[in-house]
Structure 1
Amino acid sequence: MDDRGTFEPAPPAEAVARVREGFRTRATVPRRFRAGQLKALRRLISENEADLARALAADLGKHPLESLMSEFVLLEQEIGHALLHLPEWMEETSVKVPLVLQPAQARMVPQPLGVVLIIAPWNYPVQLLLAPLIGALAAGNCAVLKPSELAPATAALLCRLVPQYLDPRVVAIVGGGPETVAGLLHERFDHIFFTGGEQAGRAVLQAAARHLTPVTLELGGKCPAVVVDGHWGNIARRLAHGKFINAGQTCVAPDYVLAVGRAADRLHTHLPEAIREFFGKRPARSNDYGRIVNDEHFERLTGYLGQGTVISGGGTERSSRYIEPTVLTDVDPDSPVMQEEIFGPILPVLQVASLEEAMEFINGRSAPLAAFLFSERPRNQRIFEDSVRAGAIGHNICNAHPLVPGLPFGGVGASGMGAYHGRHSFDTFSQLRPVLSKSALVDTLKVAYPPYSRGKAGVLKRLL
């Protein structure tokens, strides 16, 4: 702590050692302590919402209302859900004991894992750092937080706020870039929670293997949206909102659209209309539209603009890292824009002949973090759910399932491993430890002891 009463971010090894010692004290185990830390985290968000919104605007050009919807509300819902259900989550569960072990009692008791590392990305730098922390605290763990250096204003603010609100014996926050992450991954943790890209996820998994540390990976992937039928104006608005919020820098945003039959012509008309409705004729002047996070991503994204026919958008401004909301057609399925996760405001629309062709196209690629179907027909929805492999399914809406605390959020295959949100966060950061209790005053297990005999075998078969 410095003379002003604020904590300076600690070096990786020191941060890990401090919270490791905090966990040894068992301070995190009582429910009252866990609830107190969750309430303190809620105060951190509510009391500093304006400052956090300004930091997000500086890093990503986010409008305060967008930050409220996509960052703060989700966190407040998660905290409220955890506080409401924490007593039942912490309850032990009785399990039936086989007759051969009677009399005895068996139960499962949730236990904290220990010290967890949470590495957050830059695109939702508040939500994706603090949402996993909610589950870690609810489960009774200590945590080391690593915010993204690519959102520097937000990272600096969180490094100042976290030690002011959360017990420094329990939660540490570490600033810095790749060298800091490398230093953290050299330390031993009881769980690592990483949100980011596939390549970085592989590196985290490889580093975790040195200590046999379990890992949750929340990655990305090219999330498809299949459009069959429905109200075309509403479909276009939901696609445009899902795609262009945060300037397309959202892991569950629709990465491309497969339009069945004449749906392509409808979208060619209605998507540009939806974009104009949201951001006006000149989105560069709109306060509601964000910017690309850095020059590297700007250069990568502008390289995609020539890989199809632009039917809407296409404008750029290098000085402000602005890329206009863009819709592409006539896109080669083998081109880079269709092979790599776009993670930006460019939406390719491909025409397919049928729903079956669309599902075959999706399943021919790595499993996405989410897949969306726009169709009002229950039969189409059932077929899509049964046939498509994805981390989540959305019918007639994009990006909304993370707002439901009772639903797990996570990928499958290349889009990630493990899940969180709500009870699933508590379970991710808990060991469900089995406990068997049996008195030794009377030995009822003699039938299982050597020497073995046919008579004992017969008794055991009846008892087991």
Structure 2
Amino acid sequence: MGEERRRLAEEFSAGELVSALRENFESGKTKSYEWRAAQLKGIVKMIDEKEGEIVDALDDDIGKPKLESFVHEIALARSSCLLALKELKKWMKPEKVSSMIATFPSSAEIVPEPLGIVLVISAWNYPFLLTIDPVIGAIAAGNVVVLKPSEIAPSTSALFARILPNYVDSSCIKVVEGSIPETTALLEQKWDKILYTGNAKVGRIVMMAAAKHLTPVVLELGGKCPIVVDPNVDLKVASKRIVVGKWGSNNGQACIAPDYIITTKSFAPKLIDALKVCVEKFYGENPLHSADLSRVVNDNHFERLRRLLDDEKLSGKIVHGGERDAKLLKIAPTILLDIPDDSLIMQEEIFGPLLPIFTVDDIEESFHLINLKPKPLAAYLFTRDKKLEEKFVKAVSAGGLLINDTILHFGNPNLPFGGVGESGMGSYHGKFSFDAFSHKKPVLHRSFGGEVSARYPPYTPNKHRFLRALLTGDVVGLILSIFGWPRT
């Protein structure tokens, strides 16, 4: 298998692929509404006809429960495609804007045009949704696309390579499988846009490669997403939403999964008890054998999480869970209390089923603690206090905020999804996906009338007076200059 992979890598020519795709883009066929709509309809058809195979691939790659596969990946991808189909004509329509007196008479508009040839490098944790969703936006905007699925989710990657060409124009939409050699070869090419979903380390590599060609990028990264839990909450509801947001999202392997909790010292015991009840109710007394928990994706990530959990600084800090099974690649939902901030678990995004809880004397101290760390992709607050909610929104900088729930903001196509600072740059979803892969081209239209001699040489004092009055809105000065009268 290794030899076959090396042989395919040697035969793969990224340069030839990009040249052929650029030629196809320059033919103009991807710019029409009809072409774009046909590709989007093809993707909807693929999802409908291949749902069972998609579910099986997700199960192979990460042991994802069937319900999570449908709700978190298949249904969201289908909705994204249907929204693009419904709104496409409106998105493609030029936007009329106001003209200025300096260009009178004229009309102005902003025309969205496709950027050209785009590269989408996707992630393994939601290997169907995070792969196809950006492609939907790129197609809707009229681009040609190269899709590089994650090799860490090999079944889903292979599925895309096998079935996508049967539903879309394969001369303009290509799937490239492979790992580091293929990705490196792709990044050496000149693209008109790159969207990468993954971790910050690889994000820096992508950005450095893009900089060589001044290629714009969208980086969907991650970070340590905090939850602030105010004592003034509906604890029963809050605990359910925290548990499903953490462990019901690939068992914590999600870029917007809660990474740690901050609450008050006095409230922490009540919160922990409520979380324990929910975990047992959702996943049973032996969660390692629950069919509703995804497994850790592979041995490397299991070992990484084991290393975090076995840090000597966490001795005595586990208040629930901690069980693990290397053969099953499963770690039970684990809650830790008051861990040291310099422990290993706080030095990187956890991306797994471990949930630390920090305590403070006053809940507003949490805002400062969050802002001491790199800006997260998402931040969550649970409270009934509207004033605290307002302070949270003003004080905390993150890719997105959600009040009194977790992760659901991802599913609203009317909100841009993206990071800030270390958690990424740029955004997509819904119309924002169309915009991410479009150039907003300004166009000014004039007739041959409306000549103003003052704009042309030779420049005289009266022309200077006229243009100065015109451009500063000095109506009196404008009238005086037209008639050649001095200002008294």
Alignment-derived partner of residue 50 in structure 1:
52
Matched, 1:298 2:302: yes
Q: Give the aligned length.
A: 456
2:259 and 2:355 in contact (8 A); partners too: yes
Alignment-derived partner of residue 452 in structure 1:
459
Pairwise CA RMSD:
1.5
Alignment-derived partner of residue 243 in structure 2:
240
Alignment-derived partner of residue 3 in structure 1:
none
User: How far did 1:356 drift?
Assistant: 1.8
Matches of 1:77 and 1:376, distance apart in 2: 32
User: How far did 1:443 drift?
Assistant: 6.6
User: How far did 1:105 drift?
Assistant: 2.0
Matches of 1:72 and 1:315, distance apart in 2: 31
Matches of 1:136 and 1:364, distance apart in 2: 36
Matches of 2:100 and 2:396, distance apart in 1: 41
Alignment-derived partner of residue 364 in structure 2:
356
Matches of 1:395 and 1:99, distance apart in 2: 46
Unaligned runs of 5+ in 1: 1-7
2:194 and 2:216 in contact (8 A); partners too: yes
Alignment-derived partner of residue 325 in structure 2:
317
Give the ranges of 4+ consecutive aligned residues of structure 1 lying more than 6 Å apart after TM superposition.
none
Alignment-derived partner of residue 390 in structure 1:
398
Deviates more, 1:364-373 or 1:75-84: 75-84
> Which amino acid letter does the alignment assign opposite residue 194 of structure 1?
Y
- Specify the SS of the correspondent of 1:259: strand
Q: CA 1:278/1:142 → structure 2, altered by over 3 Å: closer, same or farther?
A: same
1:107 and 1:436 in contact (8 A); partners too: yes
Alignment-derived partner of residue 62 in structure 2:
60
1:147 and 1:155 in contact (8 A); partners too: yes
- Specify the SS of the correspondent of 1:247: helix
- Picking from 431, 439, 442, the partner of 1:423 is 431
- Specify the SS of the correspondent of 2:29: coil
- Specify the SS of the correspondent of 1:254: coil
Alignment-derived partner of residue 469 in structure 2:
462
TM-score by length of 2: 0.91
> Which amino acid letter does the alignment assign opposite residue 41 of structure 2?
K
State the Cα deviation string for residues 242-282 of structure 1 (Å, max 9, x = none). Answer: 11120210000100000124221112211111111111011
Matched, 1:227 2:206: no
User: How far did 1:102 drift?
Assistant: 2.0
Matched, 1:346 2:354: yes
2:375 and 2:423 in contact (8 A); partners too: yes
1:21 and 1:169 in contact (8 A); partners too: no
Matches of 2:338 and 2:173, distance apart in 1: 50
1:147 and 1:174 in contact (8 A); partners too: yes
- Picking from 385, 388, 408, the partner of 2:416 is 408
- Picking from 283, 292, 302, the partner of 2:287 is 283
> Which amino acid letter does the alignment assign opposite residue 14 of structure 2?
P
Alignment-derived partner of residue 200 in structure 1:
202
- Specify the SS of the correspondent of 1:303: helix
1:40 and 1:165 in contact (8 A); partners too: yes
Identity of aligned residues (%): 43
1:258 and 1:350 in contact (8 A); partners too: yes
User: How far did 1:11 drift?
Assistant: 4.3
TM-score by length of 1: 0.96
User: How far did 1:41 drift?
Assistant: 0.8
Matches of 1:142 and 1:376, distance apart in 2: 48
Matches of 2:103 and 2:408, distance apart in 1: 48
> Which amino acid letter does the alignment assign opposite residue 368 of structure 2?
E
Matches of 1:189 and 1:61, distance apart in 2: 35
1:10 and 1:173 in contact (8 A); partners too: no
2:105 and 2:450 in contact (8 A); partners too: no
Unaligned runs of 5+ in 2: 1-8, 472-488
